[in-house]
Amino acid sequence: MSKELNLKTAAIEKISHLDYFNIAISVDCVIFGYDNKELKVLLIKSDLEEFAGLYSVLGDLVRPDEDLESASYRVLSERTGMEDVYLEQVHTFGGIGRHPSGRVITTAYYSLIDIKHHKFKLNHNELHWHSVNDIKKLAFDHKKILDKCLNRLREQVMEHPVVFNLLPEKFSLRELQDLYQAILDIDLDRRNFRKKIAIKDWLVDLNEMENDVPHRPGKLYALKKQHQRTSTNAVVMQ
Amino acid sequence: MSKELNLKTAAIEKISHLDYFNIAISVDCVIFGYDNKELKVLLIKSDLEEFAGLYSVLGDLVRPDEDLESASYRVLSERTGMEDVYLEQVHTFGGIGRHPSGRVITTAYYSLIDIKHHKFKLNHNELHWHSVNDIKKLAFDHKKILDKCLNRLREQVMEHPVVFNLLPEKFSLRELQDLYQAILDIDLDRRNFRKKIAIKDWLVDLNEMENDVPHRPGKLYALKKQHQRTSTNAVVMQ
DNA sequence: TCAAAAGTGTTGACTTTACACCCATGA
DNA sequence: TCATGGGTGTAAAGTCAACACTTTTGA
């Protein structure tokens, strides 16, 4: 009773499946920044009437000739002018009602970028940084997407050196701790935090000190070269 | 210089994006089983000429009117006759050359099912269980998909009670340990394993003993009701 | 009586947490 | 001299890994 061996070519298969080429796929990039001891996320005002007044994360449809990663890098660089930034895929959202234009499935990525980056032109498009903690509602299912990306970020932050794009090249341990506290939304013990970071061996001591701080200056550190994460040396993290 | 407020309706947006509705999306289900102290995976012989002789994991195109999760449950139940089994989304693979029929992006899920399940009709379709350790090459990028799902399974197995679909309802701690060893592909210390499982509080002691074993019988346990994972009470795991 | 696996605790190594004092700087 | 944060160590609690002997059963 076994099925007959009935090979078909890909070309033939494609014809029989043409009906299915009726779903669009997009990428959405949850881009985190950090300023004033708060974790921020870059949002754009939705240009859909259905979501008038609401913000959404940055996304775009995937072009037929680009892969998912390229699409997410394109969104990132088109919107922020930044190249070569690490993006992490988080989850794909495929509910049927999630986009009013039709069937759009989206793959969510997160990324971390320096909020003070130069090429950045916030005024030209309705792009704004929002405090993650203040966000109650977004267009589409983007609140769910944001939450999932934030959870993933929190899971990874102590295991992998992912947060250093959010700091200047040289930073003190206090700045690093403030950043961790903003991301995790908890207080950390200073001595224990320093021990934990020291053990990871992520940092080089630059033998320099902070300037212009209204208190005793701290030592400056930088992320070791081998831990710098970019699109081109992306490390498999799990 | 700010952009004019220029809202468009979803309908209008759709027209301008029609070109993009040219990518198909599929789901691929990596279905793990367990037999003879080995972790297995359910594979089907590829019916594409391009991959003649190679196996692939179970997948199908997503229909325009079903969401991603429904599509993966459909694949699972069509192929195995099983309903109400937990599926975990792992990753979406979107390389441009990954499918010879055209642009197909796929979202991978894994699932664990009892290899001895009744409705199962292995002969009717070229469906076979393969030892995970023996698999060297698969059709498409399915080896990568399998590896990623296996990694995810290994990460979750000690943190969450995910493996119990692979065992009969009543099982001994030795059977459970053998299963963990097969999944993780390492040996575990018996006493430490039992302690670790006891702490999780996943099991009920049934006050029954094994029968028909050629050695001292062990106690039988079952997974507590509140930890049983099905499609309908799926627990958010991260 | 033998073979096979069940069942069970302790010790040492390591990790994690909580916690307090003096120091350097700028205002 | 005050306010601010820098820099540092220790003790107690908890977790993890290694390890061996007696018991029960069927063959």
3-state helix/strand/coil string of B39-108: EEEEEEECCEHHHCCCEECEEEECCCCCCHHHHHHHHHHHHHCCCCCCEEEEEEECCCCCCCCCCEEEEE
Q: What is the pLDDT of residues B166-218, one digit of tens each?
A: 999 999 999 999 999 999 999 999 999 999 999 999 999 999 999 989 999 99
Q: What is the pLDDT of residue B7?
A: 56
String of DSSP letters for A182-234: HHHTS---HHHHHHHHHHHT-EEEEEEE--S-SSPPPEEEEE-GGG---GGGP
Domain B168-227: state its class. mainly alpha
Contact A16, B104 (CB under 8 A): no
Query: CB count, 10 Å around CB of A4?
Result: 4
> Which residues on neighbouring strands pair with residue A223, listed in sequence order?
A203
Phi, psi of B190 (to 5 degrees): -65, -50
Select the residue of B2, B67, B68 nearest A123 (Cβ to Cβ).
B2
- At the fourth CATH level, the homologous superfamily of domain A15-158 is Nucleoside Triphosphate Pyrophosphohydrolase (3.90.79.10)
CA gap B223, A112 in Å, rounded = 41
Helices (H) and strands (E) counted in chain A, each on its own, are 5, 9
Does residue B124 belong to the interface with chain A, where contact is any CB pair within 8 Å?
A: yes
Q: Is the CB of A218 under 7 A from strand D?
A: yes
CB pairs under 8 A between A and B: 152
Asked if A3 lies within 8 A of B102 by C-beta distance, the reply is: no
| Domain locations in chain B as residue ranges | 15-158, 168-227
pTM to 2 decimals? 0.90
pLDDT tens per residue across span B72-105: 999 999 988 888 899 999 999 999 999 998 899 9
**Nearest residue to A111 (alpha-carbon basis) of A206, A190, A34:** A34
Q: What's the pLDDT score for residue B159?
A: 95
Answer for the pair A109, A32: CB distance below 8 angstroms, yes or no: no
For residues B31 and B111, the answer to whether their CB atoms sit within 8 Å is yes
Task: Return residues with beta carbons within 7 A of strand C.
Answer: A 189-192, 195-196, 213-217; B 172-174, 190-192, 194-195, 213-219
- Exposed, middle or buried: residue A221 (CB in 10 Å: 0-12, 13-18, 19+)? buried
